[in-house]
């Protein structure tokens, strides 16, 4: 009997191939959409984490209150001791001191007179002492010309910015800013290379130099505006980050405005809203999509079942029991649901992998953007993608058949028989 049913299923394309295709298309779209949303939202969060917020960030309480102004006069002092404490207390995190600053880049001509100038936002990062920050910001990949800083005095400028200023690797320029103590800071750098991050706000005008040089330039010896912490898993987990900051603050935070406080990414600026929005959005879009797909598949199952009332009538007339007919239809729908969902998941993951690997360049739409958003949209395949389309695919197909099959019980046998004759 099973062989008979399988033969029927395989030979009747409108009963097998078509429903499998419908299920597969629905599941493909669900898996791909979920990976796409996760990738886009996740990339934006990770990009902000890498460049500005870290997964967590330690600052003085006073600095934290005005963090958007980059008040280096309120920076953390004695950071070596604080770093030692952080590394021993939280070994699962990677800690890096940073100084963010604003300033003016002045490019001199051969006579020492100003040839060109431009405002820049700057980062003092550990570039020479270790590789962590180089890897985190993927600077080697971002390098467009020259080389990464190798010795004291080397600095990077964003590629477009360097072009506007008219300087090339090897040329010297001066950073004009303010010291930690409120004095005027002037420091000469040599352009070692130019970088392009694919982030509009970063590529517009930025300088990246070794932390030691920036400390020297801004008179911030053994001080840093912030210490960023990154989870060794490489991904931001809001709950873990908030637990970590609570733990740190319970140990270190005092009433002193210069006491260190730790803020998670979501506690900085409007990132909390973004994290929350991304979670809600991701869930919302996924749910809408799953719901829509379920309706389509449910209807496909329903129509498939209704279309077979004639066949059901003949099977009942020959002596098959209603229960057996119903169970066989459900078994078929389970098979179709699984086959379609497996196919759809595989295809969806395939498309998601392509978008994860190659990305989609939207830089043309991002010109002038003030948000730190990636200019290349990438999907991110997560374990959820392996089942997010699968279960709705199978369940909605089976529910469609269950509902259409109820008609077998509700209609009198003679009526089914009449429909068969119609």
Partner 1 sequence: METQTIISVKEMYKRFPMGKTEFTALENLNLDFAQGEFTGLIGPSGSGKTTLLNILGSLDVPTLGEATVLGKSIGKLNTHEAAMLRRESLGFIFQSYNLLAVHTVFENVEFPLLLLKIPSQERRKMVQEALEWVGLSDKIRSKPPQLSGGQCQRVAIARAMVKKPKLVLADEPTANLDAANSHHILKTMLTLNQELKTTFIFATHDEKVISYLNRKIYLLDGRVDKDEVVTHNK
Please report whether residue 351 would count as binding partner 1 according to CB under 8 A. Answer: no
Tell how strand 56-60 and strand 226-231 pair up: antiparallel
Cβ proximity to partner 1, 162 vs 316, nearer residue: 316
What's the rounded Cα separation, in Å, for the pair 347 and 27? Answer: 9
Please report whether residue 126 would count as binding partner 1 according to CB under 8 A. Answer: no
Please report whether residue 12 would count as binding partner 1 according to CB under 8 A. Answer: yes
Please report whether residue 311 would count as binding partner 1 according to CB under 8 A. Answer: yes
CB of 3 closer than 8 Å to CB of 366: no
* Helix, strand or coil, per DSSP, at residue 199: coil
Q: Which residue has the tokens 């066989």?
A: 328
SS3 content of the chain, % helix, strand, coil (to 5): 55, 20, 25
Please report whether residue 317 would count as binding partner 1 according to CB under 8 A. Answer: yes
Residue 19 Cβ vs partner 1, minimum distance, rounded to whole Å: 15
Which listed range, 1-9, 132-140, 209-217, 277-285, lies at the site for partner 1 (CB under 8 A)?
A: 1-9
The binder of partner 1 chosen from 129, 280, 314, 360 (CB under 8 A): 314
Residue 18 Cβ vs partner 1, minimum distance, rounded to whole Å: 14
The binder of partner 1 chosen from 316, 329, 372, 379 (CB under 8 A): 316
Which listed range, 26-34, 220-228, 242-250, 316-324, lies at the site for partner 1 (CB under 8 A)?
A: 316-324
Please report whether residue 421 would count as binding partner 1 according to CB under 8 A. Answer: yes
**Given CA atoms 390, 396, 401, 405 in this order, what sign does their dihedral have?**
positive
Phi, psi angles (nearest 5°) of residue 378: -130, 145
Please report whether residue 235 would count as binding partner 1 according to CB under 8 A. Answer: no
Cβ proximity to partner 1, 8 vs 118, nearer residue: 8
What's the rounded Cα separation, in Å, for the pair 267 and 242? Answer: 8
The binder of partner 1 chosen from 111, 184, 318, 365 (CB under 8 A): 318
What's the rounded Cα separation, in Å, for the pair 244 and 270? Answer: 20
- List of residues 6+ apart from 353 with CB closer than 8 A: 379, 381
Cβ proximity to partner 1, 129 vs 317, nearer residue: 317
Which listed range, 8-16, 55-63, 103-111, 275-283, lies at the site for partner 1 (CB under 8 A)?
A: 8-16
The binder of partner 1 chosen from 65, 322, 330, 402 (CB under 8 A): 322
- How many residues touch partner 1 under the rule CB under 8 A: the total is 24
Tell how strand 143-146 and strand 184-195 pair up: antiparallel
Residue 417 Cβ vs partner 1, minimum distance, rounded to whole Å: 5
Tell me the β-bridge partners of 207. Answer: 122, 157
What's the rounded Cα separation, in Å, for the pair 95 and 86? Answer: 7
Tokens coding 150: 């190798």
Residue 5 Cβ vs partner 1, minimum distance, rounded to whole Å: 10
Please report whether residue 90 would count as binding partner 1 according to CB under 8 A. Answer: no
Please report whether residue 310 would count as binding partner 1 according to CB under 8 A. Answer: yes
- List of residues 6+ apart from 222 with CB closer than 8 A: 77, 78, 79, 80, 215
Cβ proximity to partner 1, 316 vs 398, nearer residue: 316
Residue 304 Cβ vs partner 1, minimum distance, rounded to whole Å: 14
The binder of partner 1 chosen from 104, 323, 327, 350 (CB under 8 A): 323
The binder of partner 1 chosen from 110, 182, 239, 319 (CB under 8 A): 319
What's the rounded Cα separation, in Å, for the pair 252 and 273? Answer: 26
| Residue 91, number of CB atoms within 10 A of its CB | 10
Which listed range, 5-13, 197-205, 238-246, 368-376, lies at the site for partner 1 (CB under 8 A)?
A: 5-13
DSSP character string of 106-119: EEE-TTSSEEEEEE
Which x/- pattern over 381-420 shows residues binding partner 1 (rule: CB under 8 A)?
-------------------------------xxx--x--x
Please report whether residue 321 would count as binding partner 1 according to CB under 8 A. Answer: yes
What's the rounded Cα separation, in Å, for the pair 191 and 173? Answer: 7
Please report whether residue 138 would count as binding partner 1 according to CB under 8 A. Answer: no
What's the rounded Cα separation, in Å, for the pair 300 and 13? Answer: 14
Residue 407 Cβ vs partner 1, minimum distance, rounded to whole Å: 14
Identify which of 4, 19, 20 has the alpha carbon closest to the alpha carbon of residue 325.
4
Identify which of 387, 331, 298, 403 has the alpha carbon closest to the alpha carbon of residue 22.
298
Residues making contact with partner 1 (CB under 8 A):
1, 4, 7-8, 11-12, 310-311, 313-314, 316-323, 412-414, 417, 420-421
């Amino acid at each position: 009997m099973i062989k008979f049913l399988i033969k029927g299923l395989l030979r009747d394309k409108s009963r097998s191939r078509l429903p499998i295709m419908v299920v597969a298309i629905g599941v493909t779209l669900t898996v791909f959409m979920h990976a796409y949303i996760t990738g886009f939202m996740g990339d934006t969060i990770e990009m902000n984490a890498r460049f500005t917020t870290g997964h967590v960030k330690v600052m003085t309480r006073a600095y934290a209150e005005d963090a958007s102004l980059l008040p280096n006069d309120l920076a953390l002092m004695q950071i070596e001791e604080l770093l030692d404490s952080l590394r021993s207390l939280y070994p699962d995190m990677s800690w890096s001191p940073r100084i963010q600053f604003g300033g003016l880049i002045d490019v001199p001509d051969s006579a020492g007179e100003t040839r060109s100038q431009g405002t820049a936002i700057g980062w003092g990062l550990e570039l020479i002492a270790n590789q962590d920050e180089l890897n985190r910001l993927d600077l080697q990949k971002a390098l467009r010309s020259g080389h990464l800083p190798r010795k004291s005095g080397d600095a990077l400028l964003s590629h477009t910015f360097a072009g506007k200023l008219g300087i090339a690797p090897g040329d010297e320029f001066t950073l004009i800013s303010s010291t930690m103590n409120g004095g005027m800071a002037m420091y000469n750098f040599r352009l070692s290379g130019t970088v392009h991050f694919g982030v509009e706000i970063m590529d517009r005008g930025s300088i990246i130099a070794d932390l030691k040089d920036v400390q020297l330039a801004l008179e911030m010896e053994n001080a840093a505006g912030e210490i960023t912490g990154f989870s060794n898993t490489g991904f931001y987990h809001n709950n873990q980050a908030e637990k970590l900051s609570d733990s740190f603050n319970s140990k270190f935070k005092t009433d002193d405005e210069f006491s260190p406080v730790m803020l998670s990414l979501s506690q900085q600026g409007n990132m909390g809203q973004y994290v929350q929005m991304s979670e809600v959005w991701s869930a919302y879009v996924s749910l809408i999509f799953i719901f829509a797909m379920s309706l389509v598949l449910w209807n496909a199952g329903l129509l498939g079942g209704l279309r077979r009332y004639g066949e059901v009538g003949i099977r009942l007339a020959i002596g098959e029991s209603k229960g057996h007919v119903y169970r066989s239809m459900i078994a078929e729908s389970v098979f179709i649901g699984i086959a379609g969902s497996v196919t759809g998941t595989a295809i969806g993951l395939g498309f998601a992998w392509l978008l994860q690997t190659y990305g989609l360049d939207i830089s043309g739409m991002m010109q002038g953007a003030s948000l730190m958003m990636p200019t290349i949209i990438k999907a991110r395949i997560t374990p959820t993608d392996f089942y997010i389309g699968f279960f709705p695919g199978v369940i909605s197909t089976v529910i469609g058949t269950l509902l259409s099959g109820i008609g077998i019980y509700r209609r009198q046998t003679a009526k089914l028989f009449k429909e068969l004759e119609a």
